[in-house]
Structure 1
Amino acid sequence: MQICDALGVGRGITSVIGAGGKSTLLQVLVQELSGSRVLTTTTRMLPIAGIELLLDPSEEALRHALAARGAVCVGSPTSEAFGGVTKLAAPGLPLQTIAGLADHVLVEADGSRRLPLKAHADHEPVVPDGSQRTILILGASGLGRPAGEVVHRAGPFCALAHCGEKDMATPQRVARALAAERAVGRARADVIVVNQVDEAHGERATLARELAAELRALGDQTPLYAGSILHRRLERL
């Protein structure tokens, strides 16, 4: 089964939030989905390699590019860069306008400073109105490691998880922090993916299952998958 089918990605706007694989998921989705596809952001993102980049295009320019290419990346230039590549901000065109031109609009709606786990500030994530599907990513490489090293916004995370930054980001603490966020309306999602689980029976797989069990114990029944987005292997837990 393709990743897009497993995660229920259909036409319209799909938002990806969290940490530990958002860009990889966007790359996979744009490859798997058919029809016209736009990659964009409501925060900051790096352009996707191999996808034509349009900086603040007009409706007409976007329509022509989609007809010619099928998939494009759209955004506004910023003064920020990573690895010599300029990051993109949200495009000038409203996302609802873009959604009227493309079959699929794939939105990176969160930032994580390239760390595998994160807690959210009050203004995060930036899920656009009209999002048909919101996918929350968690990076399994952060589980069982010191929170201060692997969590973006470690301070808020530790306050929610009742731990210190030198304490381990155990599945129990990650589940507690996530449940606390979701209880106040942050980090809401239709499906959760524990990414970076490269082996079905390794240590990360065990930690992912513990996380799933903790979330269930806390009353969270959101569909949860674990596996490797890069290797296109997900298992529902």
Structure 2
Amino acid sequence: MALAEPLGVGPGVTSVVGSGGKTSLLAALARELPGTVVLTTTTHILPFAGVPLLVSPSADEVAAALATSRVVCVGSYGEKNKLVAPELGIDALASLADHVLVEADGARRLPLKAHAAWEPVIPPCTARTILVLGALGLGRPVAEKVHRPEIFCELADCKPEDVATPELVARAANAEGLGDVALVNQADAAAGAARELEALLAIPALVGSVQTGWARRL
């Protein structure tokens, strides 16, 4: 498996945090993993294209949907047609499907981010937490490419106008200490910077591209 195996994704609950490709990674893992899969969130997501959507379902409704479709998306309706955390609960979903894939924070479509005190929202039953970092944010000003730049600057000891170098991004990520494994995504477009960041991270890390379906240690 091009992404799941190197990232150590097994049965149970996998939470994805960070920025620069979380939603795309969830969709790719859902296609790749064997068995039944529930896509969901503890914050908010948009429905996944081509995936049956269950809004505030019962456990029986989820089981019935998984009997006819290997992958389903489960949530509750929030503002602007976004999905928020399911009423059923992540533990209950984990008892119904082989895999539950959780988007556990938001990044406003920016490639890099720092986390506020209330995020990410990682379910206690999570077996694997993947930290995603977008290589396309490297070499650009922090204020331009980082979600929550003021928190990032505190962690990395830099200014908003400074360039987001691999050293600064690693400093912030290492200070937060999130994830069991990191994926430096978008490496097809920024291979050199992605490799630099991978080498500086304190947790096991890979570089790769969700878009083209690969992840490996370099």
**Under a length normalisation based on structure 2, what TM-score does the superposition of the two structures give?**
0.97
Letter in 1 for 2:9: V
- Runs of 5+ consecutive residues of structure 2 not aligned to the other structure: none
Distance 2:4 2:200 in 1: 26
After the TM superposition, which residues 200-219 of structure 1 pair with which residues of structure 2 at under 5 Å, given as runs?
204-215=190-201
Distance 2:214 2:53 in 1: 29
Letter in 2 for 1:18: G
Counterpart for residue 179 of structure 2: 189
SS of the aligned residue for 1:54 comes to strand
Distance 2:39 2:134 in 1: 22
After the TM superposition, which residues 45-194 of structure 1 pair with which residues of structure 2 at under 5 Å, given as runs?
45-80=45-80, 86-182=81-177, 188-194=178-184
Distance 1:208 1:79 in 2: 35
User: 1:175-217 deviations in whole A, cap 9, x for unaligned?
Assistant: 11111112xxxxx211100001115xxxx211112212333xx
SS of the aligned residue for 1:156 comes to helix
Distance 1:205 1:72 in 2: 34
User: 1:46-101 deviations in whole A, cap 9, x for unaligned?
Assistant: 11100000000011111100111111000001113xxxxx2100000011111001
Counterpart for residue 83 of structure 1: none
Determine what percentage of the aligned residue pairs are the same residue.
Answer: 55
State yes or no: 1:20 paired with 2:1: no
User: 1:202-235 deviations in whole A, cap 9, x for unaligned?
Assistant: xx211112212333xxxx2x22111211101222
Letter in 1 for 2:71: A
Distance 1:226 1:197 in 2: 6
Letter in 2 for 1:165: P
Letter in 2 for 1:71: V
User: 1:116-135 deviations in whole A, cap 9, x for unaligned?
Assistant: 00000011111101101100
SS of the aligned residue for 1:129 comes to coil
Counterpart for residue 217 of structure 2: 236
Distance 2:116 2:156 in 1: 15
SS of the aligned residue for 2:82 comes to strand
> Which segments of structure 1 move beyond 4 Å, counting only runs of 4 or more?
none
Cα-Cα RMSD: 1.0
SS of the aligned residue for 2:215 comes to strand
How far off is 1:161 after superposition? 1.0
Paired residue total = 218
Given that 2:198 and 2:207 are in contact with CA atoms closer than 8 Å, whether structure 1 keeps it comes out as no
SS of the aligned residue for 1:192 comes to strand
User: 1:105-159 deviations in whole A, cap 9, x for unaligned?
Assistant: 0000011000000000011111101101100000000001000010000000011
Counterpart for residue 38 of structure 1: 38
Distance 1:43 1:224 in 2: 25
Distance 2:26 2:161 in 1: 32
